[in-house]
Amino acid sequence: MEFLPEDSIVISPHQVSCRVGDDVVVLGLTESAYFGLKGIGTFLWELIQNPITVHEMRDRVLKDYDVSVEQAEDDLQKFLNELAEAKLIEVRSSNAG
């Protein structure tokens, strides 16, 4: 799935998560998916606790981490795809109209 910059991302209500030290543990209730997030994964998970666009997420990554625009966009697409496949996030498409 290709996430567009204007797409809004938010966590799914069908998951539970908790912080364990500096990490986050997420259990998807729909797919029984379990994720352990560290570092930037924890940072991104915290960003999507409230609706945020892909563009805003990318800008926050660029502000807080020393990565190129291309690397930030590529890694963000991969991360969001993993979460979407496990049904841990909801996407409100900019194409919805």
pLDDT for 15: 95
pLDDT for 32: 86
Q: Which two tokens stand for residue 7?
A: 């797409």
Residue pLDDT, tens place only, 10-53: 999 999 999 999 999 999 998 888 999 999 999 999 999 999 99
| Residue recorded with tokens 């930037």 | 40
Could you tell me which residue, 95 or 81, shows the higher pLDDT? Answer: 81
CATH no. for 8-90: 3.90.930.60
Amino acid at position 46, single letter: E
Q: State yes or no: pLDDT of 96 exceeds 80.
A: no
pLDDT for 33: 84
Provide the whole-model pTM.
0.89
Give the 3-state secondary structure percentages of the chain, helix then strand then coil, rounded to 5.
Answer: 40, 25, 35
What ranges make up the beta strands (E) of the chain? 8-11, 15-20, 23-28, 34-37, 52-53, 89-92
